[in-house]
Amino acid sequence: MSTISTHVLDTSLGKPAAGIRVTLRRDGSLIGSGETNEDGRVRDLLAKNSSLSEGDYTLSFSVADYFSKSGRPTFYNDIEIKFRIHSASEHYHVPLLLSPFGYSTYRGS
């Protein structure tokens, strides 16, 4: 059973980024959504007992409101991470390291 998790760290502040809307899509269809908590994590992106099959997915992070709430300008409205699940038996962790004018991501554990 393949599961997914994510978290967002605001590298410009050195803190987790709370309150960012995150969506998960497959083939353009919404299959999960949530909002980062005070630890920058989305724990319930998929419904309980749901799993992911092999294929292509997109995680979208709506970051414009996050920066706007703190009065900081940003270059980004939304950040999309497109990735492929190769094994339906693994857990996938996709973190986002974020600042107002740059970001990076990787496959975590």
According to the model, what pLDDT value does residue 46 have?
87
pLDDT per residue over 32-81, tens digit each? 999 999 999 998 898 887 888 999 999 999 999 999 999 999 999 999 99
d(C-alpha 79, C-alpha 93), whole Å: 16
State the pLDDT confidence band at 3, using cuts at 50, 70 and 90: confident
Q: Which residue shows structure tokens 């980024």?
A: 17
CATH class of 3-105: mainly beta
Cβ proximity of 48 and 97 under 8 Å: no
